Amino acid sequence: MTATERIPITEDIINTLTAHKERTGCASIALMKYACDRAPDGLKPILIDSWLAKRIKSARKDHVEYVLQLWVSLEDNKTVAIDDTVRAKLTSERDRTGIQVTSLLKGRKDVPRGLRTSVASKYISGCRKTMPQEHLTYLLKAWREEPDDIMALHEVVLDKLKAHEQRTGLNAHALPHDKLHQSPGDFKCEMITAWLSCEIKSARSDYINFVLKAWESVPNKNKGSGKLAGVLHDTKVALTPEMLDQIKTQHQRTGIDEKALLKGDKDKPKGLTSLAIQSWLRGKCKTVPEDHFRYVMDKWQALPDKLQLPGYKPGKRKQTPRPDTTEIPADKLEKLRHYHSLGYLPGIALAMSDNKPKGLSPSMVGGWLRNVTTRAQPEFVTFVLDACLALETHPQRPILLDDQIIAGLVNCHDESGVSGGALLKDRKDIPQGMGRSTISAWIYGYIQTARKDQLDYVHKCYREILSQQRKKAAE
């Protein structure tokens, strides 16, 4: 047996490869990065995944041997479970220094393989259950090298922030951009909201000092300039359950939702949107600008009841008679399932037939096949069976890609050395709907059927190429 000859992908081979994948924590894409251009020709990560997923039943002997040898050479992936203790260590160091993972990893060139900002965030949030020991060690070491820079958000600091908010009439998000454009580190306005709501008990001292300085430079709301007047908020009031009930009552009475209420309204207060009203109703806001709430209620109360709206005519809804259905006979259901196994159903036969009855759809046929419903209109069943029968001789009928067909395509690929994309390159007689990735999709099992005209075309092209190669070899 030569190195390029094919061998069957047995259960033992799949189990061995899977065990090494789990042992090393290295998937096919990461594995091939260790190959460093030494891999046999034609070996790609998608091919390895197809072996493990049992989409391909055979493979080149040198491919299998190389992948196995490469996985064996890798060390065990030492992982630790991310329990409450591990997460507490990470969060305590983050809170002690006030440095988020984005700033911690930014600009570092010694970051371990696979450790990115998004990955580290998932470790801390609990989205992942395990992490490499190397990642944990690196994160803790990097944070512990940073000095303490945390100030407790005690009542004095909070009182100062709240006093500036009331004095200026600006909340955190309304602070002028020219006051925030030189903010330190990865500071965000959302942090101020979290401080004031006591969701966060401490913060970096430079963040707190920066916010206090920015708010101190803003004049009182009564003395604000014209530029600031546009962003000043009126007095806010607590959004009580009674106020929410008033909104819901007006909504039900008029039949007008918040989007329709404000559509085309040019006189509404600045900052009032339908999304803002939706956030009130969903309980996302504890307070609301008083002028916003008053404006919304006045506008809703001025509308008539929905029964008095122009054009409304109460009456009974027109009833559409249900079609007559019968139990699908067992012999016809068996024929339908046979055509389903050939790939004709639930959709292809209908798509390739003319004069499809109104109301007949692939999802309906799928319901018959899955026993979701055992009844159907007899004319629908007859139409589907006739459409499948006509498809049996259609030149574009679907062909089920079994192991024999896939093995034949793979053999043509290996013997000729021509990939599917190269096979179709610069050809002008390619069947409609066929692209350069179609053949790869067949081989790797992403498509279970192939159009007969496309499959015949590929076989014809490979026969021509192999014939030419054999003639040259004989000369």
Tell me which of 219, 247, 278 is where a domain ends. Answer: 219
Find all residues with CB under 8 Å of 446, minimum gap 6, and list them. Answer: 55, 440
Same domain, 341 and 359: yes
Cα 383 to its chain centre, rounded Å, is 39
Tell me which of 72, 103, 120 is where a domain ends. Answer: 72
Q: Evaluate whether residue 316 is within a structural domain.
A: no
Q: Evaluate whether residue 320 is within a structural domain.
A: no
User: Each residue of 31-87: pLDDT tens digit?
Assistant: 888 776 788 888 888 888 888 888 788 888 888 999 999 888 887 777 888 888 988
Q: Evaluate whether residue 321 is within a structural domain.
A: no
Q: Is the pLDDT of residue 200 over 80?
A: no
Residue 218 near residue 132, CB atoms below 8 Å = no
Tell me which of 72, 94, 125 is where a domain ends. Answer: 72
Same domain, 334 and 385: yes
276 band by pLDDT with thresholds 50, 70 and 90? confident
| Its pTM surpasses 0.85 | no
Same domain, 296 and 335: no
Two tokens, residue 187: 């500071």
User: Each residue of 152-199: pLDDT tens digit?
Assistant: 666 667 777 777 777 777 766 666 555 555 666 666 777 777 777 776
Q: Is the pLDDT of residue 137 over 50?
A: yes
Q: Is the pLDDT of residue 228 over 50?
A: no
Same domain, 155 and 114: no
User: Each residue of 405-418: pLDDT tens digit?
Assistant: 887 888 787 778 78
The whole-number average pLDDT for the span 305-318 is 58
Worst-scoring range by mean pLDDT, 164-173, 270-279, 421-430? 164-173
Cα 410 to its chain centre, rounded Å, is 33
Same domain, 374 and 412: no
Q: What pLDDT score was predicted for residue 471?
A: 85
Cα 347 to its chain centre, rounded Å, is 26
Q: What pLDDT score was predicted for residue 325?
A: 86
User: Each residue of 79-126: pLDDT tens digit?
Assistant: 888 888 988 888 888 877 777 888 888 888 888 877 888 888 888 888
User: Each residue of 444-454: pLDDT tens digit?
Assistant: 777 888 889 98
232 band by pLDDT with thresholds 50, 70 and 90? very low
Find all residues with CB under 8 Å of 289, minimum gap 6, and list them. Answer: 233, 234, 235, 236, 269, 271, 272
CA distance 270 to 226: 15
Burial of 163 (0-12, 13-18, 19+ CB in 10 A): exposed
Same domain, 381 and 409: no
CA distance 157 to 237: 23
Residue type (1 letter), 13: I
Q: Evaluate whether residue 229 is within a structural domain.
A: no
Same domain, 57 and 122: no
Q: What pLDDT score was predicted for residue 383?
A: 92
The share of the chain scoring above pLDDT 70, in percent, equals 85
Same domain, 257 and 299: yes
CA distance 55 to 50: 5
Structural domain for 154, as ranges? 150-219
Q: Evaluate whether residue 317 is within a structural domain.
A: no
Q: What pLDDT score was predicted for residue 223?
A: 42
Q: Evaluate whether residue 318 is within a structural domain.
A: no
Q: In the 3-class helix/strand/coil scheme, how is the chain assigned residue by residue?
A: CCCCCEEECCHHHHHHHHHHHHHHCCCHHHHHHCCCCCCCCCCCHHHHHHHHCCCCCEEEHHHHHHHHHHHHCCCCCCEEECCHHHHHHHHHHHHHHCCCHHHHHCCCCCCCCCCCHHHHHHHHHCCCCEEEHHHHHHHHHHHHCCCCCEEECCHHHHHHHHHHHHHHCCCHHHCCHHHHCCCCCCCCHHHHHHHHCCCCCEEEHHHHHHHHHHHHCCCCHHHCCHHHHCCCCCCEEECCHHHHHHHHHHHHHHCCCHHHHHCCCCCCCCCCCHHHHHHHHCCCCCEEEHHHHHHHHHHHHCCCCHHHCCCCCCCCCCCCCCCCCEECCHHHHHHHHHHHHCCCCCCHHHHCCCCCCCCCCHHHHHHHHCCCCCEECHHHHHHHHHHHHHHCCCCCCEEECCHHHHHHHHHHHHHHCCCHHHHHCCCCCCCCCCCCCHHHHHHCCCCCEEEHHHHHHHHHHHHHHHHHHHHHHHC
385 band by pLDDT with thresholds 50, 70 and 90? very high
Q: What pLDDT score was predicted for residue 380?
A: 92
The two beta strands, 150-152 and 202-204, are antiparallel
Q: Evaluate whether residue 396 is within a structural domain.
A: no
Same domain, 351 and 384: yes
Number of domains in the chain: 6
Same domain, 109 and 170: no
User: Each residue of 316-345: pLDDT tens digit?
Assistant: 556 667 778 899 999 999 999 998 888 888
Two tokens, residue 259: 């989007």
Q: Is the pLDDT of residue 204 over 80?
A: no
Same domain, 331 and 384: yes
Q: Evaluate whether residue 350 is within a structural domain.
A: yes
